[in-house]
Amino acid sequence: MTVWIGTSWKMNKTLAEATDWARGLGEFLAGRELGAVQPFVIPPATAIAAVAQALAAEPRVLVGAQNAHWEDAGAWTGEVSVPQVADAGARIVEIGHSERREHFGETDETVRAKVAATLAHGLVPLLCVGEPAAVKDAGGSAAFIADQAARALEGLAPEQLGRVLIAYEPIWAIGAHGRPATTAELEEPFAALAQAWGEKVQGLLYGGSVGLDNAADLLGLAPVDGLFVGRTAWQLDGYLRLLQIAAHL
Ligand code: 13P
């Protein structure tokens, strides 16, 4: 079973910082056996090409994009397309992160269109789902995320679904204002995701306040195939520690 260990840098890092991080990862990995661990890194769009280039000698690391438009090209000022991020070196496209849904008008419909475009160009969609605190408090987490996933993946053929990654990222657990989820809190939502999608997609990941203290426990949850990490992995040391935890190095 593949264990996905990835990070999104969100809106952070200059080109120099991005390149340093990527070179450092390449140096760490050179000649090192990773077992089942699949690393990936999702820089801001400005740094995709530089990170891909810095990791050119280490093709085991997948580079991704944090967003891409559903159209291939055209009059869409400020957007980048799937072919463009692929040209820059991305092999994964993150879609539907809660920060994009909340601040940039991402809807189930645009998420669905972006998943389809990503698959059409042969890249891996990393679909993010997650419920707000109020939904969790009302006991609706599992139904909410199962519904989000169903809307995003509607109509896909089995072969297409087989290339999709789903990251469950409860909104209340993400970022500086989030609180780490306990493994007990994640059992029911992950059971629902696993029942609906576990056999069909490439993997189910967890994200939200993943740290060095809880990573092993989170990876120990049966349906969890990997971790999608923000703050802890923005410094290379943190990311390397996560790789070591996942690979039992
Ligand atoms: P944090 O790990 O900083 O909570 O961010 C998680 C996340 O949103 C990854 O996409």
Express each pLDDT in 108-146 by its tens digit: 999 999 999 999 999 999 999 999 999 999 999 999 999
Going by CA atoms, what residue is nearest to atom 5 of ligand 1?
Answer: 230
Which of 231, 234, 235, 242 should be mutated for ligand 1, with most atoms under 8 A from CB?
231
Q: Is the pLDDT of residue 67 over 80?
A: yes
Higher pLDDT, residue 75 or 248: 75
97 lines ligand 1 (CB under 6 A): yes
Q: pTM here?
A: 0.98
Which of 229, 234, 235 should be mutated for ligand 1, with most atoms under 8 A from CB?
229
- Percent above pLDDT 90 for the chain: 99
Q: Is the pLDDT of residue 106 over 90?
A: yes
Residue 234 neighbours by CB under 8 Å, 6+ apart: 7, 9, 12, 13
Q: What is the pLDDT of residue 91?
A: 98
What would the mean pLDDT of 235-241 be, rounded to a whole number?
98
Q: What is the pLDDT of residue 1?
A: 87
Q: What is the pLDDT of residue 136?
A: 98
92 neighbors 63 (Cβ within 8 angstroms): yes
Strand 165-168, strand 203-207: pairing: parallel
Q: What is the pLDDT of residue 140?
A: 98
Q: Is the pLDDT of residue 234 over 90?
A: yes
- Percent above pLDDT 70 for the chain: 100
Express each pLDDT in 163-217 by its tens digit: 999 999 999 999 999 999 999 999 999 999 999 999 999 999 999 999 999 999 9
Ligand 1 center to 138 CA (angstroms): 23
Q: Is the pLDDT of residue 60 over 90?
A: yes
Q: Is the pLDDT of residue 249 over 90?
A: no
Q: Could you tell me the domains of the chain?
A: 3-247 (3.20.20.70)
Q: Is the pLDDT of residue 36 over 90?
A: yes
229 lines ligand 1 (CB under 6 A): yes
Q: What is the pLDDT of residue 129?
A: 98
pLDDT category of residue 248 using cuts at 50, 70 and 90: confident
Q: What is the pLDDT of residue 134?
A: 98
